Amino acid sequence: MKTRIAWMSAALAVCLGSAAMAQDKPNIVFIFLDNFGWGEPGFNGGGIIRGTPTPAMDALAADGLRLTNFNVESQCTPSRAATMTGRYGIRSGNHTVPLGGGVYGLVQWEITMAEMLKDAGYDTAMLGKWHLGWTEGRFPTNQGFDEFYGVETTDVTVWRTLTGFAEAEMEAPSVMQGVAGEPATVARDYDLEYRGVIDGDLTDKAIDFINRKSQEENPFFLYLAYTNTHYPNIPHPEFDGATGNGVWADILHQTDTYVGRVVEALESAGVSDNTVVIFTADNGPEALPVGSSNVSPTPAVQGTAGPWRGTLFTSLEGSMRVPFAIKWPDRIPAGSASNEVVHSMDLFPTLAAFAGGAVPQDRAFDGIDQSAFFLGEQDHSNREGVIVYMGEQVFGVKWQDWKVLFKENATVFSPTEAFDTPRIYNLLNDPGERDNVLFPYTWVAEKALPQLGEHLATFEQYPPIAPGTPDPYTPPEN
Strands 27-33 and 220-225: parallel
Please name the residues in contact with 344: beta carbons below 8 A apart, sequence gap of 6 or more. Answer: 70, 71, 72, 73, 79, 82, 83, 280, 282
- Which listed residue (131, 236, 343, 455) is catalytic? 131
Residue 187 phi/psi, 5-degree rounding, is -90, -40
Q: Residue 171 and residue 187: Cα distance in Å, rounded?
A: 15
Please name the residues in contact with 225: beta carbons below 8 A apart, sequence gap of 6 or more. Answer: 32, 34, 80, 126, 127, 128, 129, 130, 150
Which region holds residue 375: left if phi is over 0, alpha if psi is between -120 and 50, else beta?
A: alpha
Q: Residue 142 and residue 107: Cα distance in Å, rounded?
A: 9
Q: Taking Cα atoms as reference points, which of 313, 38, 261, 40 lies closest to residue 155?
A: 313
Does residue 15 have an active-site annotation?
no
Is 71:92 a contact under the CB 8 Å cutoff?
A: no
Q: Other C-beta atoms within 10 Å of 439: how many?
A: 8
Q: Which helix (H) or strand (E) holds 344?
A: none
- Which listed residue (76, 253, 343, 455) is catalytic? 76
Q: Terminus-to-terminus CA distance in the chain, angstroms? A: 60
Q: Residue 36 and residue 232: Cα distance in Å, rounded?
A: 13
Q: Taking Cα atoms as reference points, which of 258, 225, 151 lies closest to residue 194?
A: 151
Does residue 230 have an active-site annotation?
no
Coil, helix or strand for 90? helix
Q: Taking Cα atoms as reference points, which of 282, 281, 262, 280 lies closest to residue 272?
A: 262
CA 49 from centroid of its chain's CA atoms:
25
Q: Residue 371 and residue 403: Cα distance in Å, rounded?
A: 26
Is 276:26 a contact under the CB 8 Å cutoff?
A: yes
Q: Tell me which residues are annotated as active site.
A: 76, 131
